[in-house]
Structure 1
Amino acid sequence: MAVESLSGRGATRNATPSRFNLEQREVEGDWLDQVEALDGFAPRRTTVTVEKPRSILTRNRSPDIGFDRSVNPYRGCEHGCIYCFARPTHAYHDLSPGVDFESRLFAKPDAAKLLHAALSQPGYDCAPIALGTNTDPYQPIEEHWEITRSVLQVLVETKHPFTITTKSDRVLRDLDLIAPAAHEGLAAVAVSVTSLDPRISRTLEPRAPAGRKRLEAIRQLNEAGVPTLLAVAPIVPQITDHELESIVEAGASAGARAGFYLPVRLPHEVAPLFRAWLDEHYPDRAAKVMATIRSMRGGRDNDPDYFTRMGGSGPWADLLKTRFDKAVRRYGLGTTKTVLRRDLFRAPDGVQLRLL
């Protein structure tokens, strides 16, 4: 059987996590992989499994996060960002947070119908729904499945406020829905720009659109009247932190109304995956990177505590904050998030969706 190639993926390995006592699994290629692998290496193929959840609204009670509900059309993310804090969720499905997370994907085609039902419940209390809080709603498979778009159609139909966080310019496809909602004070978008250096992005987030495309998305969203934030997230010390000021400048020039930053987080299985990635791509500074991260996380790979987990603590975290604040002032980027309207919401009429 051909050896499986992980070229073009973010994670460098696919080990099963031990904290759920799951058995190690051998990677198996299918017959098509072997037909393609004439040189002895089979590319890791992306598969999508239909998921049938009972509900689609995820509730959040974390005091340091600015939303209390979200919709995630997909599990797993083909962008393959090595730092993604959502990777550990794949372990719940007996799949690896490594390469499985970015190649064994789950789609929820009933998301819009489930959302319609949730918004129809008597006594539903309207508050902004966040999309893109776990995995990217505009990852490549959205091109075919259009689940994110169907969710937006329900939100637009009911005049429900929503936010989108993405690192993909595919968001521009849905400007026909997002822009009118934004004009009524119902929508805002945050675009994450991690690096402007293609050499870094090629391994850090291998299947996400290039930084220049994300800046162009900010420009077009802004021109369409959509409140757009620049997210410099995450900042990876010794890898991308030197770009902080240039990213803020580029985002402000593209028209971002405000911005924020987040130091990299390494919860659960993300930490060993990230260490393996460093050993593969940055062996010359791997120890220094991890030492800096630990200095911001109370001597640990990850700090799970509320409030400090987002900004970090210690001299290195203080330096990042000072640099970001100075860059924001220098380039005229705001830091105030858009407040969305809730008073326009109207519950769906009947049990059927008008737009779907």
Structure 2
Amino acid sequence: MSRHYDVAIVGGYGEVGIHTARYLEEQGHRVVVGGRSPAKGRDVMNRERIDAAVTHLDLYDPNSLAAFCGSAKLVINTAGPSSSIEDRIAQAAVDAGSHFIDVGIMEVLDKQMAEREEELKQKDLACIYGTGLHPGLDDIIAQYADIQASKELDELDSLEVFFGDKSPWNGKGSLRDIVWGFHEGALSMYFGFLKDGKYKQANLFNGFKKVYFEEVSRLRWALMYQPLLAHLGNRYTTVASWGWYDFSIILSSLWTKYRFKPGSDDGVDYMYRKIVERNQAYEHLDTDTFLYVIVKGKKAGRHKELEYRIVLPRNRGYWVVGIVPAIAADWLLKGRIGFRGAGGLVKLVDPMDFMDEMAKFGVGVAFRERV
């Protein structure tokens, strides 16, 4: 089938999609972005000086979605909310014979695409998810830290990932997913960690902690299990992932769950205001987005703690969420990712190579030994 474009981006003129489109256009790919308002899209592309085509796309019109997915070799979804979109775009892309990349990881997408695994292989297609910040870059830096720490330590004990950002989640798409998760119980399944290779549900005693990092001071952290790192449980006694939180957000989340109807705009608007208020309280931080990995182990019989970190300057959060799927798309189209089927990005790329690519844009992994 002849394709007019190399890449079709759903939500390509949102805060994330802009950066995805720019990178791919700079790599020489023919790009088209789709959304409900082509006029707005053309204004955005002109303002950002991105040479990408713009077309109308109605995600909830099967004919519109099929035509859009069929126009390119690869489809990227940077739109939300995932709780509403579900696997709609992924299914349409596979039906159209196109590769598919998504910045998030919804359980429904993982499950439904797994059911089409053989078909994907027969069609020579890849469906890749977990290509944002969380999941995405935090999974990759964890793999990177694992490789580097293995060179430094004689014994490996635990690996912990700490991630956070203070963006207001533009468009409220991600926030709508979180509010949906409050009501559906989807978030509780992530409140856990790996112990001796087995998943353990966390509780009020072991699910929260304070950890000091130089750039962000002593913040509170809550356990948020990352399925894409489950394989590390075979190498470490404990594998845990922690997300930044504060009590105001925890209380607001509980209020949202019991005060507002599931999926209501009022609930999303309320949480949005609380997130903005939280961010204002942390305005003194010089960073909007930060990732840390602490690996504990032994060297010559002595206990060691190694820290690997990515701390982005202000206003780079949306950029990094957009650039990760763009790199994945570029590599897939150029044959650097030979995977066919459905899977998470962290399992499909060499973390050292990926971080080398990120370093070209000033996103390097810094290292220090913790005292």
Fold in common (TM above 0.5): no
TM-score by length of 1: 0.25
Question: Higher helix proportion, which one?
Answer: 2
TM score, norm. by length of structure 2: 0.25
> Of Structure 1 and Structure 2, which has the larger fraction of its residues in strand?
2
